Amino acid sequence: MGNTLIEKIIMKNTGLKDVAPGQIVTVRPDRVMIHDIFIPFVAEKFEEMGFTKLDDPDKVVLIYDHLVPASLVEDIRHFKIGDAFAEKYGLTHVHRSDGICHQLMTEQGYAKPGNIVFGTDSHTTTYGCVGCFSTGIGYTEMASILGTGELWVRVPETIKVELEGALPDNVMAKDVILTLLGDLHSDGATYKALEFTGSGVDAMSVSSRMTISNMAVEAGAKCCLFRPDEKTCEYSKVSMEDVAWLKADPDASYERTVHYDAKDIKPVLAAPSRVDNIHKVSELEGTPIDQVFIGSCTNGRLEDLAAAAKIMGGKKVAVRTIVTPASRDIYKAALKAGYLETLSKAGCIITQPGCGLCCGRAGGILADGEKVLATNNRNFLGRMGSSKVEIFLGSPKTAACSAISGRITMP
């Protein structure tokens, strides 16, 4: 019996000739990521465990993104503890307001095809877009990795997701993953790997694949993987020869296969207040909204800003609209391309790169009874202000059209 993509990565890391779902193995991650929310807890647990040095400081990336700029006095404590930890233990990879951790990890080359990467955030699954086994862990696990350089994992079962054909013009990768979430539900892939294949996937940009792998965790997935191709290699600055081994065997065993014809995918929304409460945009069209948010590690990339700018060009938004690029490099590229000018002229608020409203920080929170259409990954109660705020999740195209009309609108 052959092996799936996740099994191939684990075998490469451990040196084992074969692994099977359910098997417990010890891996040595190639990188680990800690963001500003968790650094105080990681630092405390690390020293509580009795460690006095990092196993490999070069493997550790510390990123300030959730709490910048500080909106609570308590946030400063996180910065001070993080800075002290970085200085004491010799961290060489520290990013201060350069963008969202999940964007930076692949953009800056920390997470490469075939790597194993762990991070203190559930959306660490994002790096599967380049064929990297990446997943979120807690601060206790992170502290132990910092000291020992290793962690045990259970080899996950794999669900294959096939997407064949070309997506309609008004459909984006966000609609694909939301559709899958509606079919699998929020627990349908718990501790499983999602492996995406098909001509529809081959046609996607790395950014679009990032949108899908980012939200795989919303189905409970341990990771989400795409086989590297020429686009991946250009993005990650590796050669095809380096990643030739990164492919599933023809006789690999899958728990099941989910198939989609791309032409059948429609623009959809996750309605309040579950990520798997999926409805076609056409069913909700006309619903008044109070605010739109375009950004986050799900949909704050250049192609997302370009799609919004194309729709908003020469128009004016009818509701508060916040646009937050996912990284400083994306901000600069969008500025150079004229997207930010177009969005600004349309009346959008352009903010610095970071997590922003996605995690209910750094401005833009809403009040009781308000509705927001956002491009991020979660619509849980209380995530963007009051617990009586209604959050709809959709694609940048849906968000941009809705911002113009002030109501949920088909792209």
| Two structure tokens written together for 346 | 């349309």
- Tell me, yes or no, whether 190 and 283 share the same domain: no
Q: Per residue in 329-357, is it b (16+ CB within 10 Å) or e — as a string?
A: bbbebbeeeebbebbeebbbbbbebbbbb
How far apart (Å, rounded) are the C-alpha atoms in residues 318 and 289? 10
Residue 100 belongs to some domain of the structure: yes
Q: Determine the structural domain holding residue 89 and report its residue range.
A: 5-262
What average pLDDT score do residues 121-136 get? 98
Asked if pLDDT for residue 169 goes beyond 90, the answer is yes
Same domain? 328 vs 388: yes
pLDDT band at residue 106, thresholds of 50, 70 and 90? Answer: very high
**Average pLDDT of the residues in 31-42:** 98
Residue 410 lies in a domain: no
| Domain's final residue, options 208, 230, 262 | 262
- What pLDDT digit, counting tens, does each position of 240-287 carry? 999 999 999 999 999 999 999 999 999 999 999 999 999 999 999 999
287 lies in some domain: yes
Identify the pLDDT of residue 224. Answer: 98
Same domain, 273 and 245: no
Of 361 and 147, more confident: 147
Determine phi and psi for 116, rounding to 5 degrees.
-115, 125
* Nearest-angstrom CA–CA distance, 323 and 292: 8
Residues 231 and 278 in one domain: no
Which pLDDT score is estimated for 363?
A: 86
> Is pLDDT at 362 greater than 80 in this prediction?
no
pLDDT at 379: 97
Per-residue pLDDT of 218-229, as tens digits, reads 999 999 999 999
pLDDT surpasses 90 at 113:
yes
pLDDT tens-digit map of 65-88? 999 999 899 999 999 999 999 999
pLDDT at 361: 82
Task: Check residue 195 and give left, alpha or beta (phi > 0: left; psi -120 to 50: alpha).
Answer: beta
pLDDT-based confidence at residue 171 (cuts at 50, 70, 90): very high
Strand order in the sheet with 349-350: 278-280, 268-270, 390-393, 371-374, 291-295, 320-324, 349-350
Same domain, 133 and 205: yes
Do 236 and 283 reside in the same domain of the chain? no
- 69 and 197 in a single domain? The answer is yes
Percent of the chain with pLDDT over 70: 100
* pLDDT tens, residue by residue, 376-404: 999 999 999 999 999 999 999 999 999 99
What pLDDT, on the 0 to 100 scale, is given for residue 333?
98
Structural domain count, the chain: 2
Average pLDDT over residues 90-104: 97
Residue 321 lies in a domain: yes
Average pLDDT, the chain: 97
In a domain, 411, yes or no: no
Q: Residue type for 255, please? A: E
Could you tell me if 223 and 299 lie in one domain?
Answer: no
303 and 400 belong to one structural domain: yes
CATH number at residue 381: 3.30.499.10
- Domain check: are 273 and 208 in the same one? no
Could you tell me if residue 374 is inside a domain? yes
214, 232, 262 — which closes off a domain? 262
What pTM does this model have? Answer: 0.97
Give the pLDDT score at 252.
Answer: 98
Alpha carbon distance 242, 128 (integer Å): 17
Residues 114 and 51 in one domain: yes
Q: 240: closest CA among 113, 52, 103, 403?
A: 113
Among 262, 293, 318, the domain-final residue is 262
Given this model, what pLDDT does residue 1 score?
87
Does one domain contain both 228 and 373? Answer: no
Q: What is the pLDDT of residues 369-379, one digit of tens each?
A: 999 999 999 99
- 96 confidence band (pLDDT: 50, 70, 90): very high
Q: Is the pLDDT of residue 116 over 80?
A: yes
